[in-house]
Each structure stands twice: as C-alpha cells, then as structure tokens.
Amino acid sequence: MISIKIALIVFTCVFCGALLGMILRAITPEHHLSQDSKDVIKLGTGLVATIAALVLGLVISTAKGSFDVQDAAVKQTSAKILMLDRVLAQYGPETKETRDLLRRIVAYKLDQIWPEDRSQTANLGEHEAVPAGEEIQARIMRLTPQNDGQRWLQSRALQISGDIMETRWLVLAGEGGSIQVPFLVVIVFWLTIIFVSFGLFAPRNAVVVAVLFVCALSVAAAIFLLVEMDQPFQGLMKISSAPLRFTLSHLGK
C-alpha cells in the first residue's frame, strides 16, 4: 500500500537523520559546538519545529475533514437510494424494472468500490456512473402518471435521483486527494532537520537511540494516518461499505 511505503520512507529519512546528527557530533570540532553555537542551532530548530507542527496539524485537520465529508456523502447517498426505491414502490408495479435496475447498479458499485478481493483497488467508475444514473432518470421520466399522487411521486423520484447524482459528483471530486508530493517532501525535509539536531546534541548510547527510534516511528505513524485519510476509498482506513450494504439488503422489498 502506498501509505505504508510512504511511512517507511519517512521513518528511514527521519531516523537516519538522527543517526547522521550523532555522526556529525563525533567528527565536528569542539569549538563549533560551543554554547553560543548550540543556542543558535536550538533556536533555528525550534523555529522549524514550530512551523512543521503548525503545517502538519493543519494538513491532518484538512485531511480528516475531507474524509468525514466523503463518509457523510456515502451515507447520504445510501439513504437516498433507499428512499428512491420506496418512492418507486409506492408509484406502482410498473416501476419494478427500474427498481431491479437500481438494485443491480448498487450491487455492481459495491463490488467495484469495496471488492471482496483485498488485493484489488477501489474503482469509483466515474465514466460508468453518469450513463447508469441517466438511465434511471430516463425511465422515471417515461412513466405516465394516472393521478395526482403518481405525478407527485414521479416528481419526487426525479428530485431524489438528481440529488444522488449530485452527491456522486461530490464523492468523485474529492477522491483524488489533496496532499501534493512536493508538500510532503518539504514536511519530511523539515522533520529530518529536526532529528539531525536531536542527534547532534544527544549522547551516543542505547537508550537515546531507542528513544529516537520510537520518536521517528511516531512521526512516520502520523504521516501514515495523513496519507490514509487522504485516500478514503483505499488502504486500511477506507470508508465503510456498511451503509450501502444495508441499503442493498432492503432494495426491492
């Protein structure tokens, strides 16, 4: 998975940065590590650490917000699909073929976005969604209402199907992710600099190395969570398919 690979790269860069700092301390002349020099290095590192913390916190918050929007969109779509099926059922038996088509579309999309084979990647099928949605709407428009009740139900079904398509485009628009590679490279660069400074002033013993190892692992875990939330339909933290599966189990009843 891409998120695990990125986390491993981040861990390697950050932890190796700490080890590099220890090596630099061993070969750097003592007069270059005077108290004044240490104060300047600490001030500079503190500035970089503050910027990195603010930016990383902002990005994690943005990614979490985007993940929540996508999750809400899936739940909203699931509810509206079920509502559309019930409206068509109330219209009359002439909508049975349309309801069957709706059920087949939902089953197909479930298999595409949440495949049983975990080795397969999610496929939102943006090119397939438009014809399928338009076919449902075309069938609804071809209905011939016989009374005011059926006319209202037809209008309501068209409204719900339009809302489903709108939400569908919302999901597709946010699927590409918001984290750019150059931005991620800059964040990792900042974190590496910080860990180089840690190693530069740290004594060389097993306890310090172990602490730096755990800290580097924690940083990599934060980046892992960030990348995972930026890909809501991929990876270990992908959006649950439970709402849509619940909808599928009740369609046509």
Amino acid at residue number 126:
E
- pLDDT tens-digit series, residues 225-253: 888 888 888 777 788 889 989 999 988 77
Band of the pLDDT at 135, cuts 50, 70, 90?
A: confident
Give yes or no for a contact between 243 and 75, defined as CB atoms under 8 angstroms apart. yes
Handedness of CA 48, 51, 57, 61 (dihedral sign): negative
More confident residue, 191 or 228: 191
Mean pLDDT in residue range 200-228:
90
The phi, psi pair for 205, rounded to 5°, reads -150, 170
Band of the pLDDT at 193, cuts 50, 70, 90?
A: very high
Cα-based angle 246, 249, 252 (whole degrees, multiple of 5): 130
Q: What is the CA radius of gyration of the chain?
A: 27
SS3 per-residue string spanning the chain: CHHHHHHHHHHHHHHHHHHHHHHHHHHCCHHHHCHHHHHHHHHHHHHHHHHHHHHHHHHHHHHHHHHHHHHHHHHHHHHHHHHHHHHHHHHCHHHHHHHHHHHHHHHHHHHHHCCCCCCCCCCCCHHHHHHHHHHHHHHHHCCCCCCHHHHHHHHHHHHHHHHHHHHHHHHHHCCCCCCCHHHHHHHHHHHHHHHHHHHHHCCCCHHHHHHHHHHHHHHHHHHHHHHHHCCCCCCCCCCCCHHHHHHHHHCCC
- pLDDT tens-digit series, residues 157-185: 999 998 888 887 777 665 556 677 788 88
pTM given for the model: 0.77
Pair of tokens at residue 234: 């991929």
